[in-house]
A and B are shown apart, each in its own frame.
Chain A
């Protein structure tokens, strides 16, 4: 089975930096994804990690440690539009049949204050 934990809610200040943590216990692992979801909208892809280390993409970075079952999403220079839910998701091992479905955490609701 899969179990993914992330904080329910976080608050940060415009212009600051925030780190959203995600821990997972899974029966297998073939990649970790971060998605952003604004209220009433669909999730949109932010980042993907399959090897240990840091992946940077503009103001967003994501880190993975497979041995610790741990990832974080780092958001820099926060803007009001970054207020959203951030979803951590783990993909099962590649079964040879193609893309596998994702198991999502409950999401972290990030509130940006002026």
Chain B
């Protein structure tokens, strides 16, 4: 079975440019999460969706960041305009909601390594 798929795997861009990261969750999963990882701050939750609906975006750092999930098999994280401090690894993860809500393991994609010059 395919795991979480992310693209691109690497992105180098210049400050001020728009960056779009893409994620395809595991088929059948109904929760999707975007995380950012840096050496200084570790792994941080940015936003998550349940059944394509954004539930909590309190981790999104600024209005320059936006995320969408138009259907159950696709999500995007967009940064516009990008800044050097946005350089990080961005992970997408998905999980399957169960009736009891416990033990919902999140499976991570390989990540997108973003460098903003």
Contacts and interface: CB of A to CB of B under 8 A. Distances in A.
A, B in one complex: yes
Interface of A: 30-31, 33, 41-45, 48, 50, 87, 89, 94-107
Given A41-B110, A45-B105, A87 B31 contact: no
Contact of B101 (A98, A101, A105, A106): A98
Contacts of A100: 48, 55-56
Nearest to B49: A98
B59 to A, nearest CB: 7
A94 B101 contact: yes
Contact of A43 (B44, B91, B95, B103): B91
Contacts of B103: 31, 48, 50
Contacts, number: 68
Contact of B106 (A95, A97, A99, A103): A99
A103 B45 CA distance: 7
Interface residues of B, number: 28
Interface of B: 30-31, 33, 42-45, 48, 50-51, 55-56, 59, 91, 95-97, 101-111
Contact of A99 (B44, B91, B101): B101
Contact of B95 (A41, A94, A99): A99
A48 to B, nearest CB: 6
A82 B48 CA distance: 30
A44 B95 CA distance: 13
A3 B111 CA distance: 25
B5 to A, nearest CB: 12
Contact of A87 (B43, B56, B59): B43
Given A30-B101, A48-B105, A98-B51, 15 more contacts: A31-B102, A42-B108, A42-B111, A43-B43, A43-B108, A44-B108, A45-B105, A87-B42, A87-B43, A97-B55, A98-B50, A98-B97, A100-B48, A100-B56, A101-B56
